């Protein structure tokens, strides 16, 4: 739940990816947001929604531990 909300609210900064342990992708999201002058924020927003609805690719963190609801 926390990761999903972070994705929806702060997805442009990749905060949800850092929270889940995916540091490289978090840095990439920051870079894309800067290079696209903010349009890259859509990427994080969509991922936040996917986390909240329980998409298969977002059911585990970077260590393979299942996310709690």
Task: Decide: helix, strand or coil at residue 65.
Answer: coil
Sorting pLDDT into bands at 50, 70 and 90, what band is 2? very high
Q: What are phi and psi of 61, to 5 degrees?
A: -85, -170
End-to-end CA distance of the chain: 6
> In whole angstroms, what is the distance from residue 15 CA to residue 66 CA?
19
What is the per-residue pLDDT across 3-60, written as a single tens digit (0 to 9) for each?
A: 999 999 999 999 999 999 999 999 999 999 999 999 999 999 999 999 999 999 999 9
Q: What is the pTM of this model?
A: 0.90
């Amino acid at each position: 739940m926390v990761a999903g909300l972070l994705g929806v609210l702060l997805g442009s900064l990749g905060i949800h990816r850092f929270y889940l342990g995916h540091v490289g992708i978090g840095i990439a999201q920051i870079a894309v947001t800067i290079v696209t002058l903010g349009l890259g924020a859509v990427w994080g927003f969509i991922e936040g929604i996917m986390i909240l609805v329980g998409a298969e690719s977002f059911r585990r963190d970077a260590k393979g531990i299942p996310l709690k609801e």
